[in-house]
């Protein structure tokens, strides 16, 4: 092959790969078994090639690539090696063509494998996971409450520097029950009304600090030392604050260390020791005269509230400044390097901060997180002022505003959501991030959800993180292999966790129960499939909907769900604004009517029978408060794009998912084409393929024609009144059509409700399978719902 051909092939492959990157491969893989099979073949070819490649260049490393995930995990090594090989090839080709002159001094040949970057050694394992440490939380005055439906309340008992006194706020919350679901920010008014003092807006000479090594940190672990620190802090006009946190051997996590610096001292507070005494810091933290400088305070703000009842008024977040200034790095390490020529040893970031006595290196790392921050702040203010003149906009003011939004963040307990799997560690996230290749089909999903539920309750009971109980990859492996015997489970992986071993019998029982429940459901569905009486159900629902087109939507179907909605309101409405969209319920009939009239479509989602809470009518609303910096607004955008979800209670746990945004007329006309997707499809749909709200207009316009076509099809269907089993012809007729969301099902009621309605009114046949098949095949238009990012190790503090 000549060189140009070779080059062309490379270019094509590269272009093709970048195209592939834009597609939602895991999604397609999960809904199309043929595609999934092809992908598997390609994956194993890629793996073989990589193994072959490494066997040529570095035999010892070929063994590192056992399965396809190894390539992903070691992608840097692979791409570096490929780059070097390409360079080498290029070099050889040039040489062969005589394009290279012989260098006077022969350079050493390129190494076949990229030299590993000069890296610091890994921290010793015991510093990352101090496995045998007694759990500090056992010594906390109040033991952690890990209840699924915990109603969390402010920890603060006094409110220094108040514009609105605490009593007044308490009275407000008491008198307005709706506030119990989403407490106001206790310092909301104070933060909103605050302005940086004028001197902050003046160019300054950065106050030089001694190096961190020259400054002895003050260890604060007694009330006396705390008082001394407080006195000193009250004299400062600005202080720097940072926290270190632990969440691996605890369900909710806790702060282990608080670092504070002023221009003179660095303090490191043992928050494990002084956990209950720290509220006195509010006198400084909420003092509007004292600036609090933090870097990337998103989580610190939440942790301070949750653990100590501390709030920050007058925040300057240096991360926001890096964003406004458009720096190429936004982390603290970048700023330390830029302004202080100090290389932070970020290996300690993920250290086990529970360790006591704190090793010297860890102490010094912790100290360095605040030691230089006021000096950096001085520089950033100057840079912001200077650039404001150049760009003719008040950049410091933007940092002030976005810092304010961060200070306004509220801690709220994230509920467990068995039904929709929302939330950071919710099954939806886990499934889409880790499981879409292995958890395929209803059965696997049912078992996966049951295990996920078990993992969550066990983590709460044991006060461990879910990833300590059963990390996601193990959860997926177990669910995919569904061991039915304890021994099978114990031999499923070399990396079983201690708690998986301890609870092996229980886990196997969970799998068996899920399997039985699944089998039962299948039997029920089969009997429904042959139930002649039930067959004409859907048409009656359709005609109901058609009637209601002329009047207000019929909300009576919601009435029976009121009771459960109240329970769920408690359970879910407090869905944390940290990690996920808030879930609220239409509480009044008017509310419901209004919500109902904005329905675009509904898709049935059958939930695994192991679901703990029967779900009723749920409307999910994006309700993130106070969008702030980029990350916040991104989170908000992500949650906004989540579809609204409406569920109906049933033994079969059939619920209804809906999307808001298209007017009633369109919605109701689309309801005419109602067929019922199968469990399989609806899980795929709702798990992975709900369209974003803002797609609806696009869908609508492209769907007009399709609606016409479908209307014709439907008319044909009605006249011929096809029997339940006759689906194939319709499936193939629609198989190549793109799936049109704006034209889909509106009222998909639970099975028994359907039967009831049918018995009363129905004449026409309903085939529960054919829409399902069409949906499965016609997925091109669908988009994955965006799910907010996770916390803990997976969240990247800036």
Q: By CB under 5 A, name the binding residues for Mn ion.
A: 242, 369
State the Rg of the chain over Cα: 30
797 binds, among Mn ion, ligand LLZGTKA7, none (CB under 5 to 8 A by kind): ligand LLZGTKA7
Q: Which of 717, 669, 701, 676 minimizes the C-alpha distance to 781?
A: 701
CB of 471 to ligand LLZGTKA7, least distance (A): 15
Contacts with 783 (C-beta within 8 Å, 6 or more apart), sequence order: 24, 689, 690, 691, 692, 695
Angle between helices 33-57 and 75-96 in degrees, nearest 10: 60
Member of 43, 55, 182, 349 binding ligand LLZGTKA7 (CB under 6 A): 349
Mark the segment that binds ligand LLZGTKA7 (CB under 6 A) among 41-49, 686-694, 762-770, 787-795: 787-795
Distance CA 221, CA 210 (A): 25
Closest residue by Cα to residue 249 from 346, 145, 137 = 137
Shortest distance (Å) from residue 151 CB to ligand LLZGTKA7: 26
**Min CB(338)–ligand LLZGTKA7 separation in Å:** 17
Under a CB-based contact definition with an 8 Å cutoff, are residues 611 and 654 in contact? no
CB of 271 to Mn ion, least distance (A): 13
646 beta partners: 656
CA torsion 6-8-9-12 (nearest 10°) is: 160
Q: What is the DSSP letter of 603?
A: E
Mark residues 533-552: x for contact with ligand LLZGTKA7 by CB under 6 A, - for none: --------------------
Q: Does 649 bind ligand LLZGTKA7 (CB under 6 A)?
A: no
Least Å from the CB of residue 216 to Mn ion: 19
Neighbour order of strands in the sheet with 645-646? 599-606, 654-660, 645-646
Nearer to Mn ion, 46 or 128 (CB): 128
- Binding mask 207-246 vs ligand LLZGTKA7 (x if CB under 6 A, - otherwise)? -----------------------------------xxxx-
Taking the C-alpha atoms of residue 622 and residue 637, their distance in angstroms, rounded to an integer, is 9
Shortest distance, position 295 Cβ to ligand LLZGTKA7, whole Å: 7
Does residue 329 interact with ligand LLZGTKA7 by CB under 6 A?
no
Q: Beta strand pairing status for 654-660 and 645-646? A: antiparallel
Rounded to a whole number of angstroms, the minimum distance from the CB of residue 204 to ligand LLZGTKA7 is 25
Binding of ligand LLZGTKA7 by 337 (CB under 6 A)? no
CB of 301 to Mn ion, least distance (A): 14
Minimum CB–partner distance for residue 331 and ligand LLZGTKA7 (Å):
8
Please say which residue, 560 or 792, places its beta carbon nearer to ligand LLZGTKA7: 792
Name the DSSP letter for residue 599: E
793 lines the binding site for ligand LLZGTKA7 (CB under 6 A): yes
The per-type count for the chain, helices as H runs and strands as E runs, is 36, 11
Q: Can you list the positions of beta strands (E) in 164-253?
A: 218-220, 238-246
Answer with the entry of Mn ion, ligand LLZGTKA7, none that 793 interacts with (C-beta below 5 to 8 A by kind): ligand LLZGTKA7
Is residue 434 classed as helix, strand or coil in its secondary structure?
helix
Task: Give the residue among 75, 437, 14 at the shortest CA–CA distance from 65.
Answer: 75
**Crossing angle of helices 472-481/442-462, nearest 10°?**
140
Q: d(Cα 641, Cα 432) in Å, to the nearest integer?
A: 16
For ligand LLZGTKA7, the closer CB: 306 or 658: 306
Which of ligand LLZGTKA7, Mn ion, none is residue 796 near (CB under 5 to 8 Å by kind)? Answer: ligand LLZGTKA7
Determine the Cα–Cα distance for residues 212 and 458; give it in Å rounded to an integer: 43
Which residue number, 300 or 649, has a Cβ lying nearer to Mn ion?
300
CA distance 71 to 19: 20
Give dist(CA 769, CA 776) in Å, integer: 11
The yes or no reply on residue 287 touching ligand LLZGTKA7 (CB under 6 A) is: no
Nearer to Mn ion, 369 or 642 (CB): 369
- Residue 383 contact partner, candidates ligand LLZGTKA7, Mn ion, none, CB within 5 to 8 A by sort of partner: none
Nearer to ligand LLZGTKA7, 253 or 423 (CB): 253
- Of the pair 272, 690, the CB lying nearest Mn ion is at 272
- Angstrom distance (rounded) from CA 363 to CA 620: 44
Least CB distance to ligand LLZGTKA7 at residue 350 (A): 6
CA angle 55, 56, 61 (to 5 degrees): 40
Residue 776 and residue 734 in contact, taking contact as beta carbons nearer than 8 Å = no
Binding mask 358-377 for ligand LLZGTKA7 (x = CB under 6 A): -----------x--------
Measured from the CB atom, is 241 or 657 closer to ligand LLZGTKA7? 241
Q: How far is the CB of 102 from ligand LLZGTKA7 (least distance, A)?
A: 50
CB closest to Mn ion, residue no? 369
The partner in contact with residue 245, picked from Mn ion, ligand LLZGTKA7, none with C-beta cut-offs of 5 to 8 angstroms by kind, is ligand LLZGTKA7
Q: 272 with 354: CB under 8 angstroms?
A: yes
Q: How far is the CB of 318 from Mn ion (least distance, A)?
A: 13
Angstrom distance (rounded) from CA 576 to CA 417: 12
Instruction: State the DSSP code for 671.
Output: G
- Which one, 140 or 795, has the nearer CB to ligand LLZGTKA7? 795
- Cα–Cα distance for residue pair 428/209, rounded to 1 Å: 48
Determine, following the binding rule CB under 6 A, whether residue 292 of this chain makes contact with ligand LLZGTKA7. no
Does the bond joining 302 to the residue before it have cis omega, within 30 degrees of 0?
A: no
Write out the residues near ligand LLZGTKA7 by the rule CB under 6 A.
Answer: 242-245, 349, 353, 369, 792-793, 795-797
């Amino acid at each position: 092959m000549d060189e140009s051909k070779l080059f062309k092939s490379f270019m094509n492959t590269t272009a093709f790969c970048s195209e592939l990157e834009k597609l939602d491969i895991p999604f397609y893989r999960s809904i199309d078994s043929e595609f999934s099979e092809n992908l598997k073949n390609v994956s194993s070819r890629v793996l073989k090639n990589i193994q072959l490649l490494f066997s040529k260049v570095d035999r010892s490393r070929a063994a590192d690539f056992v399965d396809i995930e190894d390539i992903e995990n070691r992608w840097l090594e692979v791409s570096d090696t490929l780059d070097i090989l390409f360079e080498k090839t290029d070099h050889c080709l040039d040489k062969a063509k005589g394009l290279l002159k012989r260098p006077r001094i022969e350079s050493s040949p390129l190494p076949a494998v990229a030299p590993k970057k000069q890296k610091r050694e890994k921290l010793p394992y015991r510093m990352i996971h101090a496995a045998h440490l007694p759990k500090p939380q056992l010594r906390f005055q109040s033991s952690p409450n890990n209840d699924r439906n915990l109603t969390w309340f402010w920890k603060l008992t006094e409110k220094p520097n108040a514009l609105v006194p605490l009593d007044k706020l308490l009275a407000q919350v008491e008198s307005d029950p709706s506030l119990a679901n989403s407490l106001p920010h206790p310092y909301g008014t104070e933060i909103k009304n605050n302005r940086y003092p004028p001197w902050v807006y003046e160019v300054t000479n950065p106050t030089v600090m001694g190096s961190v090594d020259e400054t002895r940190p003050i260890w604060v672990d007694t009330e006396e030392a705390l008082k001394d620190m407080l006195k000193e802090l009250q004299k400062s006009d600005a202080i720097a604050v940072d926290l270190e946190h632990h969440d691996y051997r605890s369900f909710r996590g806790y702060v282990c260390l608080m670092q504070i610096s002023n221009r003179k001292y660095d303090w490191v507070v043992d928050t494990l020791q002084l956990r209950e005494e720290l509220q006195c810091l509010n006198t400084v933290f909420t003092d509007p005269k004292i600036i609090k400088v933090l870097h990337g305070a998103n989580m610190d703000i939440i942790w301070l509230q949750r653990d100590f009842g501390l709030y920050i008024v007058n925040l300057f977040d240096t991360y926001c400044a890096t964003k406004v200034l458009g720096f190429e790095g936004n982390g603290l390490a970048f700023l330390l390097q830029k302004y202080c020529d100090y290389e932070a040893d970020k290996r300690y970031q993920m250290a086990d901060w529970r360790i006591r006595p704190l090793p010297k290196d860890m102490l010094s790392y912790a100290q360095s997180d605040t030691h230089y921050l006021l000096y950096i702040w001085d520089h950033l203010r100057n840079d912001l002022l200077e650039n404001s003149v150049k760009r003719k906009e008040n950049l410091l003011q933007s940092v002030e505003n976005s810092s304010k939004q961060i200070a306004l963040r509220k801690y709220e307990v994230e509920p467990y959501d068995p039904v929709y799997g929302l939330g950071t560690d919710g099954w939806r996230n886990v499934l889409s991030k880790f499981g879409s290749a292995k958890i395929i089909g209803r059965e696997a999903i049912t078992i996966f959800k049951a295990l996920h539920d078990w993992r969550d309750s066990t983590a709460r009971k044991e006060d461990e993180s879910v990833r300590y109980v059963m990390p996601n990859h193990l959860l997926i492996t177990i669910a995919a292999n569904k061991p039915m015997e304890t021994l099978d489970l114990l031999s499923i992986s070399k990396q079983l966790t201690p708690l998986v071993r301890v609870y092996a019998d229980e886990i196997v029982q969970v799998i068996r129960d899920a399997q039985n429940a699944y089998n039962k459901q299948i039997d029920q569905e089969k009997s429904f499939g042959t139930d002649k009486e039930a067959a004409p159900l859907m048409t009656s629902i359709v005609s109901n909907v058609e009637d209601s087109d002329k009047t207000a939507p019929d909300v009576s179907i919601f009435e029976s769900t009121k009771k459960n909605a109240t329970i769920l309101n408690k359970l879910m409405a407090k869905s944390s604004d940290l990690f996920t969209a808030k879930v609220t319920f239409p509480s009044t009939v008017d509310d419901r009517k209004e919500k109902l009239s904005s329905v675009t479509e509904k898709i049935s989602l059958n939930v695994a029978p192991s679901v703990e809470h029967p779900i009723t009518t749920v409307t999910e609303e994006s309700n993130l408060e106070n969008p702030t910096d980029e990350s916040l607004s991104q989170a908000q955008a992500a949650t906004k794009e989540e579809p609204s979800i409406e569920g109906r209670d049933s033994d079969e746990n059939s619920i209804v998912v809906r999307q808001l945004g298209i007017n009633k007329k369109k919605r109701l006309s689309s309801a005419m084409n109602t067929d019922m997707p199968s469990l399989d499809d609806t899980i795929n749909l709702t798990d992975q393929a709900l369209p974003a709200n803002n797609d609806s207009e696009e869908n609508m316009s492209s769907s007009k024609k399709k609606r016409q076509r479908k209307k014709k099809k439907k008319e044909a269907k009605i006249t011929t009144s096809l029997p339940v089993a006759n689906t194939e012809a319709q499936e193939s007729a629609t198989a190549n059509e793109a799936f049109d969301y704006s034209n889909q099902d509106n009222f998909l009621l639970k099975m028994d409700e359907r039967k009831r309605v049918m018995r009363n009114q129905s004449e026409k046949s309903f085939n529960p399978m054919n829409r399902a098949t069409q949906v499965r095949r016609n997925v091109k238009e669908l988009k994955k719902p965006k799910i907010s990012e996770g916390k803990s190790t997976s969240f990247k503090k800036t």
